[in-house]
Chain A
């Protein structure tokens, strides 16, 4: 069965430091992969997605993610974190052709220290 694991429940970084949020998935075929960000009390905003092609994907707000098939990972990175990046980050995998459903990870809460 498909699944998504975000091993880190909480991460704290200093402003200006680099960031990497981990995401591992279990899926039988080539997955559709997504990263979303959720600010408190808000809906989810799409940061980036991977369907095929170049395994390094650029997103909004300076984020990027790299798909590594051999490691079943899709880690999110940002070279320099801003205080406004503090939020909850969700990794998701498309659950199957034509179902269009997502399976979400449990989320990683990012705290940014000034």
Chain B
């Protein structure tokens, strides 16, 4: 399977600041990446689909101005949580779709965000 990394693995920030999370596909080129958030003891909620070279597609209820996604290359997508607030504290996980026509997603290790 594909190897996916995320950086940072955890971050603590003050309310009102912005935080950038990176998702890298280490061993293949990913045209599509996904961003999820997961609250404690809950399932994963898809936030957006990140497409290389084009605008991300956000799920209903997800604020695109709040969660900025950039997929500038085939190996890197970034999620920026702008003006973070305590309610944005969560576990953010990215995944990559394994190649053209492949349905399988491979997940990164996640980034835990705590906003004080």
Q: How many A-B residue pairs have CB under 8 A?
A: 50
- B:80-116 near A, CB below 8 Å: 91, 93, 95, 97, 103-110, 112
CA distance A83 to B75 in the complex (A): 36
Q: Which residue of B lies closest to A34 (CB)?
A: B104
Chain B proximity of A38: nearest CB distance (Å): 9
A56 within 8 A of B: no
Q: Are B103 and A43 in touch, CB under 8 angstroms?
A: no
Q: Are A90 and B106 in touch, CB under 8 angstroms?
A: no
Q: Which residue of A lies closest to B1 (CB)?
A: A46
CA distance A34 to B95 in the complex (A): 14
Given A36-B107, A104-B43, are A43 and B112 neighbors across the interface (CB < 8 Å)?
Answer: no
Chain B proximity of A87: nearest CB distance (Å): 13
Q: Which of B95, B97, B105, B110 contacts A42 (CB 8 A)?
A: B110
Given A34-B104, A51-B103, A100-B97, are A42 and B109 neighbors across the interface (CB < 8 Å)?
Answer: yes
Q: Are B107 and A44 in touch, CB under 8 angstroms?
A: yes
Contact with B along A92-109 (1 / 0, CB 8 A): 001000001110111101
B44 within 8 A of A: yes
